[in-house]
Amino acid sequence: MPLIEVRDLSRVYDLDSGRVTALGGVSLDIEAGELVAVMGPSGSGKSTFMNLVGCLDRPTGGHYRLDGAAVETLSGDGLAELRNRKLGFVFQQFNLLPRVDACANVELPMVYAGLDGKTRRERALNALARVGLAERAHHRPMQLSGGQQQRVAIARALVNQPRLLLADEPTGALDSRTALEILALFQDLNREGVTVVLVTHDAEVARHARRVVRFRDGHVIADIRQEPADARAALAVHDSAAPMPEAAE
């Protein structure tokens, strides 16, 4: 049974100015343990697809099963629980709460899972250590670099041990080296068993996925498998080519 089972999924917006078909009947399976890159031109429906898969939006047609559960039949609270337990989101703009520190940001999903403060704190610090930010646990987002902020966001996405990590242009706001770091993190997590779906415009980023799905005008136009590039190796090459990375960028 695939983790994601999408059949003829569509999303149509009824606007005053007419109907907009953001997604026009997409069928796709993603197995547990895959690392998939979603590509396509702007407006091709990538984000729409991600939002439906992420249970943030409801389709106007078709069917979607997540881990065997028919998502269309779920109530609002049911979707919230699914997002909380099975899904982790990483956004282009990080979306961290500015007023609280990294640790409290990572705790947020566990607050809604109903965990007590002590357990939350423990797990949040573990998750931060896993993304290499143990010492920055008590820094506020403002006091962190973009890459660090994105790693806090990834720690937050991971902390409830989700089946699926959804990342919509996670490297869009980062420089190329930091993007490689984030990709290396995704590859590590994927090796540990987390299914990752990431949207990107950047072919260089997509090279690190084993599977690439291309969208155009709300349809899947290509679905290819490839041998992924290793982000850690690329990082090593990057650093040897530019001995002083800070100065080089």
Ligand X SMILES: Nc1ncnc2c1ncn2[C@@H]1O[C@H](COP(=O)(O)OP(=O)(O)OP(=O)(O)O)[C@@H](O)[C@H]1O
Residues of this chain that bind another protein (CB under 8 A): 51, 54, 56-57, 76-77, 80-81, 83-85, 89, 91, 95, 97, 99-100, 108-109, 111-113, 117, 156, 160
Q: Minimal distance in Å, beta carbon 86 to Mg ion?
A: 22
Q: Which one among 17, 42, 75, 240 touches ligand X, defined by CB under 6 A?
A: 42
Amino acid at 95: N
Q: Which is nearer to another protein, 167 or 206 (CB)?
A: 167
Q: What phi and psi, each to the nearest 5 degrees, are found at residue 43?
A: 85, 10
Written as six digits, the tokens of 160 are: 């409830």
Q: Do residues 166 and 97 touch, judged by C-beta distance below 8 A?
A: no
Look at residue 56 and give the partner it binds from ligand X, another protein, Mg ion, none, a contact being a CB closer than 5 to 8 Å depending on partner kind.
another protein
Strands across the sheet containing 18-30: 18-30, 4-15, 61-66, 69-70
* Cα separation of the two ends of the chain: 45
Q: Minimal distance in Å, beta carbon 241 to another protein?
A: 37
Query: Rounded to whole angstroms, how far apart are CA atoms 158 and 149?
Result: 14
Indicate whether 46 belongs to the interface with ligand X (CB under 6 A): yes
Considering only the stretches 29-37, 45-53, 135-143, 151-159, report the one whose residues sit in contact with ligand X under the rule CB under 6 A. 45-53
Query: Rounded to whole angstroms, how far apart are CA atoms 37 and 169?
Result: 10
Query: Rounded to whole angstroms, how far apart are CA atoms 58 and 73?
Result: 10
Q: Which is nearer to another protein, 157 or 234 (CB)?
A: 157
Q: What phi and psi, each to the nearest 5 degrees, are found at residue 34?
A: -80, 160
Look at residue 202 and give the partner it binds from ligand X, Mg ion, another protein, none, a contact being a CB closer than 5 to 8 Å depending on partner kind.
none
Look at residue 132 and give the partner it binds from another protein, ligand X, Mg ion, none, a contact being a CB closer than 5 to 8 Å depending on partner kind.
none
Q: Which one among 3, 5, 34, 48 touches ligand X, defined by CB under 6 A?
A: 48
35, 196, 198, 209 from 190: Cα distances, Å:
7, 7, 12, 10
Instruction: Pick out residues in 5-34 that bind ligand X (CB under 6 A).
Output: 13, 15, 20, 22
Chain residues that interact with ligand X, rule: CB under 6 A: 13, 15, 20, 22, 40, 42-48
Chain residues that interact with Mg ion, rule: CB under 5 A: 47
